[in-house]
Amino acid sequence: MLTADNRWVELDADPLAHVAHIEDHEEQLRVSGWSEWGMLSRKDLTPLWLEIYQRPQGQEPEFMVIVCNLGFYRVVYAENTPALMSLQAQWAPAIQAAAVTELLGDLQENGTVSDVASLVQRALSR
């Protein structure tokens, strides 16, 4: 879990351990009190994104962040809002780079490389 003072600490127990018998992930989250809070990037449209869930304040960790990469994922936790903001800031450059790379690849594959894409490609190749 990432703490508010930007340290990684091990949790004493997995916050989803008590619902491990439930096969449906969405049901596990609902039963455990997690609700969808937001997303960083666009799910399934970019090769890397964060799915963010929150549970009521006062429960630690307050946020669950699922780091998704087209078929793979890792779950990390943020202690509170300041820790979540730090976690998002740490992932934002990688997510942005993955989205831009995916976009440029799509433009090339479709034969629709625009002037803007050409400028970006030239700038990146320097």
pLDDT in tens, 78-105: 999 999 999 999 999 999 988 888 877 7
Position 116 pLDDT exceeds 70: no
CA 57 – CA 34 distance, rounded (Å): 11
Continuous H helices in the chain = 25-31, 81-109, 115-124
pTM above 0.85, yes or no: no
CA–CA separation, 96 and 43 (whole Å): 13
Determine phi and psi for 80, rounding to 5 degrees: -160, -170
pLDDT per residue over 10-28, tens digit each? 999 999 999 999 999 999 9
